[in-house]
Chains A and B, each alone.
Chain A
Amino acid sequence: EVVLTQSPDFQSVTPKEKVTITCRASQSIGSSLHWYQQKPDQSPKLVIKYASQSISGVPSRFSGSGSGTDFTLTIKSLEAEDAAAYYCHQSSSLPLTFGGGTKVEIK
């Protein structure tokens, strides 16, 4: 099973500040790493797929990078609507797994 370790667990950020979330895989997964945003009482929403591919309708301030075992989600200039939990997810092998999540709070 591929274990995904996210850091940090929690981040309190002022608007317009840059946010960086990392996800480390326990084994190489190529670029089969995706990022979801989840707001309270909502289902997860895909914001980045295959490590760095943008998603239609998702603001361009969201970007991703990495390959192999180390990945990063960056929010270039945080807006109030970005307050949420963010989860990385790997689809390289079964069982599908998710990271533990990073909660981003607006200061």
Chain B
Amino acid sequence: QVQLQESGPGLVKPSQTLSLTCTVSGGSISSGSHYWNWIRQPAGKALEWIGRIYTSDNTNYNPSLRSRVTISVDTSKNQFSLNLSSVTAADTAVYYCARGGVFDWLPLEWGPGTLVTVSS
């Protein structure tokens, strides 16, 4: 059974870059069978899809965040990462990593989430 775990700083200053890593266990991130997603949720609000990666050169981003987002993969560590630049308070949220299929895009397995607060 695959498990995902987010990690990274819980506090980021405005205008800086938010960086998170998702560690995958119980399955290979390079199997070629899955998309690896980042999704966020501000407190009390709805879920927002940030983007996903399939291979190192196959990524899709939400147009609303595309100019600030980079998702990358490190197959040697079985991890994928999120960088979100020029953050503001509006980027404060619980960030989830999640796995979806290449044919069934819906996220099926989720990490527990990690709260990132943007504040000086």
Contact = CB atoms under 8 A, between A and B. Distances in A.
Interface stretch (A17-25, A41-49, A62-70, A71-79): A41-49
Contacts of B112: 42-43
A98 B106 contact: no
B110 A91 contact: no
A34 B108 CA distance: 11
Most interface-central of B98, B100, B106, B110 (chain A CB within 10 A): B106
A42 B111 CA distance: 9
Interface residues of A, number: 19
Q: How large is the interface on B (under 10, 10 to 19, 20 to 34, 35 or more residues)?
A: 20 to 34
B47 interface: yes
A40 to B, nearest CB: 11
A43 B113 contact: yes
Contacts of A100: 46
Contact of B111 (A1, A43, A97): A43
B48 interface: yes
Interface in A35-63: 36, 42-44, 46, 49
Contacts of B60: 94-95
Interface string B58-78: 001111100000000000000
Interface of A: 1, 34, 36, 42-44, 46, 49, 87, 89, 91, 94-101
Given A42-B112, A98-B46, 6 more contacts: A43-B112, A49-B104, A91-B104, A98-B47, A98-B49, A101-B46
